[in-house]
Structure formats: structure tokens, C-alpha cells
Chains A and B, each alone.
Chain A
């Protein structure tokens, strides 16, 4: 079982990204869970969202305390939340930032596993013209966790975008570009 914890801020689409990841994994035949942990909901408040992905039925209904991966959609959360709490050493933390790994490391509370960074803002602005970090972050998570095969991921996402944005075809191309760029640029 792969367990993923997403850290975002209300309104950034962390929940949508986790739901999309569950969708894609589901279509490849996996058992999935995607669920938010709600506090007082408001734009900008820290939110936590969880994914479980497994080959067999998932029964557990608790939150995730020892995730394999931690995904930080908003780097300002590094100051507020311990994003590596309980994070397995064999896993990784993925941070949306333009900064270098050396600049991020001091905020990880001595985490000994892998650190990946991606500049989702840059990718989003270049491909979508607006700041929607969830699309590039989703691709980064797929790349790092290998939860889903990359080609399958791109194909499923294209189908999903075509349905979702049937009346706004101009958005489809931008989103696909964002995914592809993120798959390349996460490091």
C-alpha cells in the first residue's frame, strides 16, 4: 500500500489533485482512497488530504500518520506545519518551490529520506497563464511515487480533461502541457 499526505492551503486544489490521483489509480485497476481532513474551512487555511493506493481492498478509515510520501503544495506551510512528521525514511517529500534543495532542507526537521522539488508556479504560469499548482504537483507525485505508469497517467488525464473541460477546449492543451512539463522538471 502507498500512503500519501498532501499539505495545501484552502482553494489551491490539493483535494482535487488527490481525487484525480485516486481516479487515475482506480482506472489502472487499483483500490484507492482519497479523503480530506477538515478543520475550519476557509480560503488560505492549511488543509490536509490523504491518498491510499493498494492492490487489495482498503478497509482502514483513519488518517495517515506514517505516510510514504508527503506533498507540500504551498511552501509557506513549511514554516507552519511539520510536513515530515511520521514520514517514512524510505519515502520522500515533494515540495512546490523555486528554491534549491539546500534552501528547503533546513525546514524538514532532519528528515533523512529523499527530497524532490518542483516549481509548480513557473510551470503553471507558462502553460496555463494562471497559478493552479495542483496540476503540476499531481504529475510530480506520479513521477516520484510511481503509483501509476506515466503514459497511462497522461492518457487518463487527457480523457478526464476532455470530459471536464468539454466547453473550454483551450484549457485542455494547457493542462496537458503542465503535466508533461512537471514530469520532466521534478528533481
Chain B
């Protein structure tokens, strides 16, 4: 029986974690993710979970402790944002290559500098090549649902990769809105007990975790990660289908909104999708054939599936919330363009940068973007890629 609630994204994340009752949660605070360990430590103090909560002295240590606990055989996680994640950099790669399916509750925030506490995706996008699964959310409901599904995907025997559950800093993390919670027992039954196959604290199977790999083994290790990431696609689909049965909410690797007959579409990630949907509904009332593709999983990257979904679109707007200084848009743009190219999709693309350091994006901004996509279809040449809402 679903419970109607109004919560912030951080509250929703904490409640999902209480329902999951993980074994170990080391944490170091950083805005805007601090509330997640803060709320969770209350659950620990109140005896509502039996998680070992470890306040550590840095993010380097929180990720080290989390992956150590996971290697020992525990279900572990930590939470962070921005520069906190930057300090975890070394361990991110270790967790992935050691095939430890721990969770990182990441509240997206711009990286310094200039120092800024607000949302963009530069922290997680910087770590897109670290070997973690990356799952993003549009609203607080999706944040909660992603947390409930995350361990099932990460821990699956065909996957065994760490998972980053991302939400937009302040926009969802500190914004209160309506949502539905599942009953504790439903979540507990859905997530299940963690049963690692190989773990350090198993006296019957002595093993080493994270040994040196000579050149004879390193590439095989990476190839194994690649296969696991490929497998994660189908596993994620299966888990999402199963989740739909208990929640009534069906998710996919990405969401298509009014895309079926769209001639002009945008691709983006996260909370801006809600604003885009309102803009699209208004344009649809005027008979404009516009739609949205909202990426939920950036890793594994559903390139083939995206190219297929965009196969009938004339012009695609690719919208990034993280700069990569390539002169070719951001990561979403580069990877989507590569996927379109590989699929032989010749749709024109226009690249946009938006929302850096929390710069707001409005319904009207999307109207202008769709206007421009139509102009490009009619022959307008766009020079380079544009920054939305830039003050000149």
C-alpha cells in the first residue's frame, strides 16, 4: 500500500536507505548531500536500522571504508557531492575494478572553481569513465525509486559493479514535493539480503582483493568490467520491470516524452526534464511536433537504443549540464553524437550547455531551443554550441 508523502530529495533518499537497511555507511559531510547521512544517522541512533554508521575524516576515507566493508562482504554505501567526490577519485576506480557493488548517493553539485554549491553534473560526469553505473533522476519520486532499485542492479552476479545514484543538488535534494513511498516490507522484500559470492570474511575461501596486476592481466581485468557494464543494461531493464509490478511506476534506461511522432527533440538528464515537459505540452497545443528523451542511465550508456528512439527526428538538441572544453559540447553530446553516427542516423544536431553552477533553466528557454531546432531544419547554420541563459 503506497503512502502519500511530501519530502525533499534528500529525505526521500534517506527513507529509502532506512528501508533498505544497509550494513555499513561511512560518511563525511558536504553540501548539498550532508542531509542524507544526517537523517540516516538519526535512524541509526533511534535503532530503526542496524547499520554501522562511521563518521570519517574525509571523503578519501569514506569511500575507502565503504569499499573495504563491501569487500569484507557487507552491503555498503557513502554519500557525497562535488569536491567530496573529487577527493574519492582514486577509490572510485578501485571500487569498480575490484567489482564491489557498493552505492554512492551523489547529490550533483558544480566542481570548483569558482567555488559554487549549486547543481550541475560536472562531478559525476567527470567520473563517467571510472567504471561505475550512473543513474539520474528528474524528481523526488524518481530519486526514491532509483535508490530502491540500485542494489538489485549493482549486486546482480552478471554485473557486480558499483552504482552512483545521482540527483540534482538543491533542485531535488532540498526541494519538497509530493511523492509516494512503498511500505518498508515491500522494499525489504524487493531488495533482499545481500549474498556475496566471494568476500574477504569468508574463512572457507581465503582471497586477496585489489592485488597488483601486471600487464599480462590488466587489460583482461578492464575487459571484464566492460562486459559487466554491458550486462548491466539487461539487468537494469529486468529490475525496472519487476519494480513496476510493486510500484506501478515503469522506468527504462531513458524516458521518451511525446517522442513517438516528434520531428524536433531534445536530449538531457535530470530535473530540467520536468521543466522541458511543461514546455513541450504547451508547444504541442500549438501543433508543434516536439519531444524529449531523458537519459536515466548514463552508464551503461544506452547508445543503440537512443539512436533508435531518435531515428525519425529531424533535428536533435543535445543538452549538457557539464562542460568538457572539447569544443564539441559536453559528455552527453559527444556520446549521443557518436551513437547516432554509429547507427547511421543523419539527424542534424545542435549542442547546448545549460545550468552550470545552478543557473536556472526556464520553460521559455526550451521554447527558444525548439524554435532554433526548427530554424536549423530550415537551413539556419548554428556556429558552435550555445550557452543557455548566459549573461553577455
Write the residues of chain A forming the contact surface with B, with a CB cutoff of 8 angstroms: 19, 22-23, 26, 31-36, 38, 57-63, 65
Contact = CB atoms under 8 A, between A and B. Distances in A.
Contact of B6 (A32, A36, A61, A65): A32
B319 to A, nearest CB: 14
Interface stretch (B20-28, B173-181, B205-213, B237-245): B173-181
Interface of B: 6, 117-118, 139, 168, 170-172, 174-178, 271-272, 274-275, 277-278, 358, 360-363
A144 to B, nearest CB: 22
Given A23-B6, A26-B6, A62-B275, A38 B117 contact: yes
B174 A57 contact: no
Contact of A32 (B177, B272, B362): B177
Contacts, number: 59
Nearest to A30: B178
B274 A59 contact: yes
Contacts of B174: 35-36, 38
Contacts of B6: 22-23, 26, 32
Contact of A61 (B117, B118, B274): B274
B139 A59 contact: yes
Given A26-B6, A38-B117, A61 B175 contact: yes
A59 B277 CA distance: 7
B362 A59 contact: no
A58 B177 contact: yes
Contacts of A26: 6, 178
Contacts of B277: 59
A57 B275 contact: no
Contacts of B362: 62-63, 65
Report which residue of B139, B178, B272, B274 has the largest number of chain A beta carbons within 10 angstroms of its beta carbon. Answer: B178
A63 B170 contact: no
B361 A36 contact: no
Given A26-B178, A38-B118, A61 B363 contact: no
B177 A33 contact: yes
Given A32-B176, A35-B170, A60 B118 contact: no
Contact of B176 (A34, A61, A65): A34
Given A22-B6, A26-B6, A38-B118, A33 B175 contact: yes
Contacts of B278: 59-60
Contact of A35 (B175, B272, B361, B363): B175
Contact of B274 (A60, A63, A65): A60
A182 B374 CA distance: 53
B175 A34 contact: yes
Nearest to B366: A62
Contacts of B275: 59-62
Contact of A31 (B170, B171, B178): B178
Contacts of B361: 62
Nearest to A57: B178
Nearest to B272: A61
B178 A61 contact: no
20 contacts: A19-B176, A22-B6, A22-B176, A31-B178, A33-B177, A34-B175, A36-B174, A38-B117, A38-B118, A59-B274, A59-B275, A59-B277, A59-B278, A60-B274, A60-B278, A62-B360, A62-B361, A62-B362, A63-B360, A63-B362
